[in-house]
A and B are shown apart, each in its own frame.
Chain A
Amino acid sequence: MSQRFRDAVSNGRPLLSVYMTAGFPQLDDTVRLARTLQDAGADMLEIGMPFSDPVADGPVIQSASEVALENGMTIELLFRQLESLRSSVSIPVFLMGYWNPVMQFGPKRFVNDCMVAGVDGLILPDLPLEEYCATFQSDVERAGLAYAGMIAPSTSDSRVREIDSSVNGFLYAVSVSGVTGATGGFGEAQLSYFKRLSDLDLRNPVIVGFGIHDAPTFSGATAHSAGGIVGTAFIRHLREHGLDVSRMRNFLNSIRPAG
């Protein structure tokens, strides 16, 4: 697993990871946006590979994916764009997407191109652990990529342990059962779920995603975890304010206060 990712996790304060969609708002924005996010204070990036049928996503990320596809985004093109990634971006970068486009691209070729581009890891929400272990894990680990095991509130402790012992990377704890884009706060149930995960004393760091959109949700999510992921709220910001770095910094500071 990459030193970049290890360092980011052990940096001391909760890690702020930001989700962006490749090829959005404009086709060629991918690397420029990644660099701008880094400059604005993000500790880690998730670059979404758009898919026509994103069942785990709410309307905001769905529509970003649709625009990206209309712009002409493909995995092939993404890897060409990412050739210049590591000349300006030094924080960890994960690719996030649905299994079908990866399967069509060719799983082996995909991990190879990730390695060449300097991608640190993968998040594939519709590839269940069983399929991952049976068909993809050896390729991923041979390439030295980290992998995110997804966990939901309904996941039992024994299943969490099973996932934890099967993946090398992090555990992506989905905050609520739902698709991306929830706008409410976290209640007792969520906070005790985050605490339960932390009490399990897992090998992999836990990073919380889905529904983090402001300071209370970020601090609630990270009181007992290594970090939080901001997705829908950032896409909304991007739609409204574009790639302006100081506005982006203000936005990220409003979620995780600087200091």
Chain B
Amino acid sequence: MAVEHNPIREGYFGEFGGAFIPEMLRENVVTLASRYREILAEVGFRQELDALLRDYVGRPTPLYHARRLSEDLGVTIFLKREDLCHTGSHKLNNAIGQVLLARRLGRTRIIAETGAGQHGVATATACALLNLPCVVYMGRRDMERQAPNVARMRLLGAEVRSVTSGSETLKDATNEALRDWIANPADTHYVIGSVVGPHPFPSMVAAFQSVIGAEIETQFAAATGGDVPDAIVACVGGGSNAIGGFVRFLDNAQVRLIGAEAAGEGIATPCTAATLTLGRPGVLHGARTMLLQTNDGQIVEAHSISAGLDYPGVGPQHAHLHASGRAEYVAVTDRQALDAVKLLCRTEGIIPALESAHAIAALSLARFEPGVRVVLVLSGRGDKDLATYERELATPEAE
């Protein structure tokens, strides 16, 4: 017999995406897939979300013409200041949206995975605000690397569970969150932190992050008398801030879309997270996408100095945009990202997150035509990375 209704095979971007989930999760995933669009379109839901984005998250975030950085790089750069969102990154756009949605679906418990801790902090924040219990899974190694964010989550009332399986990082935290969801399908919603996972998460998270691109469109037009940017540049871990910046411009081929993935110590070394540059198609965490893996199909550990980009997969929509050539992806090394941190600090007085610094470094690798005007999504601020910066970057006194 043919399978008639096929919500699972609807969630494809070209050959990437889908919902490769055990039957135990099907009920939840199908409910989400069939309901989220209609809930997002409800006037009441939109009003509540928009009010929180404005009054609580601090939206719209500014689009700032970075003159000294522009001068230094020889192209006109505008920064989309997601670093000014409450909790310090774009992650809260998605976390607030999903926790509101979960409440609308009658879920009474929230779980999340986190790598750098930014998504964990955002989810813990949204849960405190909306009064829902929150469990965050985090790799044991990441808990050590990102200790201040662990403290923040706990202060916000979330329970942080240390994950000791596998490589003890983001990939394993995601496995553990999926296992929790399999065991608690009736009351729990899993707030995935990027445009990854089974359908409908990649589309749903993109919908919540599309506010970034919508604001860019309006603000850029206002700043330039009605123009559209020549390029959008963003870093890509799972790829949510990048998709958020890209979606509005996907159909306008005049706009170059450039993603910066983490090359770690370099794409010729095994210590890398450059999934699109080096990966092959496979299935992980519910989606068919590009993955760093062995010939035998075992997922390999990624490496990046930035915990938020340290993931061996990537959102399926990026895999498709890469395959179709609509977006370009450049691989940025740890060193290049650190140099970019310094550049932004010294030219603009803005300390970026390590993740966002990959996008800044990509500006020099993207070979822009003279005169172009570029919008860079500055996804987060660098407070969480201060220990790394102190260790890796010479201070003026030390120079």
The answer to whether A152 touches B283, judged by C-beta atoms less than 8 angstroms apart, is: no
Chain B residues lying within 8 Å of A76, measured Cβ to Cβ, are 296
The answer to whether A128 touches B19, judged by C-beta atoms less than 8 angstroms apart, is: yes
Q: How many residues of A contact B (CB 8 A)?
A: 44
Smallest Cβ-Cβ distance to B281: which chain A residue: A103
Among candidates B23, B179, B297, residue contacting A102 with C-beta atoms closer than 8 Å: B297
The answer to whether A133 touches B22, judged by C-beta atoms less than 8 angstroms apart, is: no
Tell me if A56 is interfacial: C-beta within 8 Å of chain B: yes
Chain A residues lying within 8 Å of B186, measured Cβ to Cβ, are 154, 177
Instruction: For residue B167, give the distance in angstroms from its CB to the closest CB of chain A.
Output: 9
Given A126-B283, A133-B3, A134-B9, A52-B22 contact (CB < 8 Å) = no
The answer to whether A179 touches B182, judged by C-beta atoms less than 8 angstroms apart, is: yes
Please, how many angstroms separate the alpha-carbon atoms of A126 and B171 in the complex?
A: 17
Instruction: For residue B23, give the distance in angstroms from its CB to the closest CB of chain A.
Output: 4
Chain B residues lying within 8 Å of A62, measured Cβ to Cβ, are 165
Smallest Cβ-Cβ distance to A156: which chain B residue: B27
The answer to whether A59 touches B182, judged by C-beta atoms less than 8 angstroms apart, is: no
Chain B residues lying within 8 Å of A52, measured Cβ to Cβ, are 166, 298-300
The answer to whether A131 touches B8, judged by C-beta atoms less than 8 angstroms apart, is: yes
Tell me if B178 is interfacial: C-beta within 8 Å of chain A: yes
Smallest Cβ-Cβ distance to B177: which chain A residue: A55
The answer to whether B6 touches A165, judged by C-beta atoms less than 8 angstroms apart, is: no
Smallest Cβ-Cβ distance to B300: which chain A residue: A52
Given A99-B283, A178-B182, A179-B182, A131-B9 contact (CB < 8 Å) = yes
The answer to whether A128 touches B20, judged by C-beta atoms less than 8 angstroms apart, is: yes
Tell me if A79 is interfacial: C-beta within 8 Å of chain B: no
Chain B residues lying within 8 Å of A103, measured Cβ to Cβ, are 282-283, 297
Q: Which size class do B's interface residues fall under? A: 35 or more
Given A152-B26, A154-B185, A178-B182, A128-B165 contact (CB < 8 Å) = no
Given A126-B283, A165-B1, A179-B179 contact (CB < 8 Å) = yes
The answer to whether A129 touches B3, judged by C-beta atoms less than 8 angstroms apart, is: yes
Tell me if B21 is interfacial: C-beta within 8 Å of chain A: yes
The answer to whether B297 touches A53, judged by C-beta atoms less than 8 angstroms apart, is: no
The answer to whether A128 touches B26, judged by C-beta atoms less than 8 angstroms apart, is: yes
The answer to whether A179 touches B20, judged by C-beta atoms less than 8 angstroms apart, is: no
Instruction: For residue A135, give the distance in angstroms from its CB to the closest CB of chain B.
Output: 10
The answer to whether B24 touches A174, judged by C-beta atoms less than 8 angstroms apart, is: yes
Chain B residues lying within 8 Å of A69, measured Cβ to Cβ, are 298
Interface centre among B8, B179, B297, B300 (most CB of A within 10 A): B297
The answer to whether A130 touches B8, judged by C-beta atoms less than 8 angstroms apart, is: yes
Given A51-B298, A177-B24, A104-B166 contact (CB < 8 Å) = no
Tell me if B277 is interfacial: C-beta within 8 Å of chain A: no
The answer to whether B22 touches A104, judged by C-beta atoms less than 8 angstroms apart, is: no
Instruction: For residue B100, give the distance in angstroms from its CB to the closest CB of chain A.
Output: 24
Instruction: For residue B59, give the distance in angstroms from its CB to the closest CB of chain A.
Output: 35
Given A56-B182, A177-B182, A152-B23 contact (CB < 8 Å) = yes
Tell me if B183 is interfacial: C-beta within 8 Å of chain A: yes
Instruction: For residue B9, give the distance in angstroms from its CB to the closest CB of chain A.
Output: 5
Smallest Cβ-Cβ distance to A154: which chain B residue: B27
Please, how many angstroms separate the alpha-carbon atoms of A104 and B291 in the complex?
A: 11
Residues of B86-109 contacting chain A, CB below 8 A: none
Tell me if B308 is interfacial: C-beta within 8 Å of chain A: no
Tell me if B76 is interfacial: C-beta within 8 Å of chain A: no
Tell me if B284 is interfacial: C-beta within 8 Å of chain A: yes
The answer to whether B178 touches A55, judged by C-beta atoms less than 8 angstroms apart, is: yes
Residues of A116-166 contacting chain B, CB below 8 A: 125-131, 133-134, 150-152, 154-155, 159, 162, 165-166
Among candidates B1, B24, B178, B296, residue contacting A166 with C-beta atoms closer than 8 Å: B1
Please, how many angstroms separate the alpha-carbon atoms of A105 and B280 in the complex?
A: 13
Among candidates A128, A131, A134, residue contacting B23 with C-beta atoms closer than 8 Å: A128
Please, how many angstroms separate the alpha-carbon atoms of A167 and B18 in the complex?
A: 20
Tell me if A190 is interfacial: C-beta within 8 Å of chain B: no
Chain A residues lying within 8 Å of B285, measured Cβ to Cβ, are 53, 55
Tell me if A100 is interfacial: C-beta within 8 Å of chain B: yes
Please, how many angstroms separate the alpha-carbon atoms of A101 and B297 in the complex?
A: 4
Can you list the 8 inter-chain pairs with the closest CB atoms, starting with the nearest? A104-B297, A101-B297, A150-B23, A178-B183, A152-B24, A74-B296, A154-B27, A52-B298
